[in-house]
Amino acid sequence: MGVAVVSVLMMTGSKCPASATTTSVPAVFKPDLTEVPPGLDTTDLLWQMLAATVVILVLGVLAFVVVKRLLPKIARTAGKRISVLETVYLQPKKALHLIEVGSRKFLLASSPEGLTRLDDVTDALVCDYAEAARRIENEAKEKDD
């Protein structure tokens, strides 16, 4: 009702009488933080904070597990044609890398100076399983003799 009176007075151009003012509302609501709401004591509040902290820590650990274990598996798609099969570190900043590009395998050397292709080792890594089985059998027979 006070708003209606003020708007009527504004339209008529008359000055606002003292009786037409509305009651004052505090500018800022300041709750009394020293009192604990009924039914809650400080022990309950501490347990709630502890439970919330534990939940946040568990969510953090789960996020870490997802990032470290599941994402690399998801990132490996069947469409990739280049993969690192093996890496051997020779010195702190020097390494040999065996990579596969399509069906071919290459041996690469890496150093602070750059990357060097050493050789195509596709044929060197083809294993004749029948020959390997015969060799193992012969070695086993020699040990028995």
Q: What is the pLDDT of residues 43-68, one digit of tens each?
A: 888 889 999 999 999 999 999 988 88
Element (H, E) at 59: helix 42-65
pLDDT-above-70 percentage for the chain: 59
Q: Would you call 25 exposed, middle or buried from its count of C-beta atoms within 10 A (0-12, 13-18, 19+)?
A: exposed
What φ, ψ does residue 132 adopt, rounded to 5°? -65, -40
Beta strands in 4-120 (DSSP E): 82-91, 94-101, 104-111, 114-120
Report pLDDT for 53: 97
CA atoms within 13 A on the CB side of 23: 3
> Which residue matches tokens 């690192």?
84
Global pTM reads 0.37
CA pair distance 105, 99, nearest whole angstrom: 6
Q: And the tokens for 9? A: 């007075």
